[in-house]
A and B are shown apart, each in its own frame.
Chain A
Amino acid sequence: MAKGRIEINEANCKGCTLCMIACPQHVIQMATDRVNVKGYYPAMLVDPEGKCTGCAICAVACPDVCITVYRQVSVRQSQTAAASAG
Chain B
Amino acid sequence: MTISAVEEKVVYQRPESLSDVPTHYCPGCTHGIAHRLVAEVLDELGVRERTIGIAPVGCSVFAYKYFNVDSAVAAHGRAPAMATGIKRVLPDRVVFTYQGDGDLAAIGLAEIVHAATRGENITTIFINNAIYGMTGGQMAPTTLPGQHTTSSPGGRDIEITGFPVRMAELLAGLTGTAYVARRSLHNVKEINRAKKAIRTAFETQLAGLGFAMVELLSSCPTNWHLSPPEALQWIEDYMVPYYPLGDYKVIEPVQDLMKR
Chain A residues with a Cβ under 8 A of chain B? 4, 11-12, 14-18, 21-22, 40, 54, 56-57, 59-65, 67-79, 82
A78 — which chain B residues lie within 8 A by C-beta? 1-3
Task: Known contacts A18-B232, A65-B36, A77-B2; decide if A57 and B28 are in contact (CB<8 Å).
Answer: no
* B 4-19 binary contact with A (CB < 8 Å = 1; else 0): 1111111111100010
Asked if A60 and B188 make an inter-chain contact with CB atoms under 8 angstroms apart, the answer reads yes
Tally of B interface residues using CB under 8 Å: 36
Q: Is B33 an interface residue (CB 8 A)?
A: yes
Say yes or no: B11 contacts A74, CB within 8 Å.
Answer: no
Docked complex Cα distance between A73 and B11 (Å): 10
Contact B10 A65 (CB under 8 A): no
Q: Residue on B with the closest CB to A22?
A: B188
* A16 → B minimal CB distance (Å): 4
Contact A18 B191 (CB under 8 A): no
A4 to B8, CA, bound (A): 8
Chain B residue contacts of A71, Cβ below 8 A: 8-9, 11
With contact pairs A68-B12, A70-B10, A75-B4 given, residues A11 and B22 touching in the complex (Cβ less than 8 Å): yes
Residue among A15, A60, A73 making CB contact with B192, cutoff 8 Å: A60
Q: Are A14 and B12 in contact (CB under 8 A)?
A: no
- Asked if B30 lies at the interface with its beta carbon under 8 angstroms from chain A, I say yes
CA distance A62 to B23 in the complex (A): 12
Chain B neighbourhood of A56, CB < 8 A: 11-12
Give residues in B with beta carbon < 8 Å to A: 1-14, 18, 22-23, 25-33, 36, 187-188, 191-192, 221, 227-229, 232
Q: Beyond A17-B229, A22-B187, A63-B29, is A72–B12 a contact (Cβ under 8 Å)?
A: no
Q: Is the CB of B191 within 8 A of A64?
A: no
CA distance A18 to B191 in the complex (A): 13
Instruction: Give the docked Cα–Cα distance between A71 and B10 (Å).
Output: 6
Bound: A64/B19 CA distance, A:
11
A63–B31 touching, CB < 8 Å = yes
A83 to B228, CA, bound (A): 54
The 6 closest A-B pairs by CB, nearest first: A63-B32, A14-B27, A16-B28, A69-B12, A16-B27, A59-B12
A63→B13 contact, CB < 8 A: no
Give the chain A neighbours of B28 by CB distance below 8 A: 14, 16-18, 63
- CB contacts (< 8 Å) of A64 on chain B: these are 22-23, 25, 32
Q: B6 touching A75 by the CB < 8 A rule?
A: yes
Question: Which one of B7, B13, B18, B191 lies within 8 Å of A72 (CB-CB)?
Answer: B7
- Chain A residues contacting B4 (CB-CB under 8 Å) are 74-77
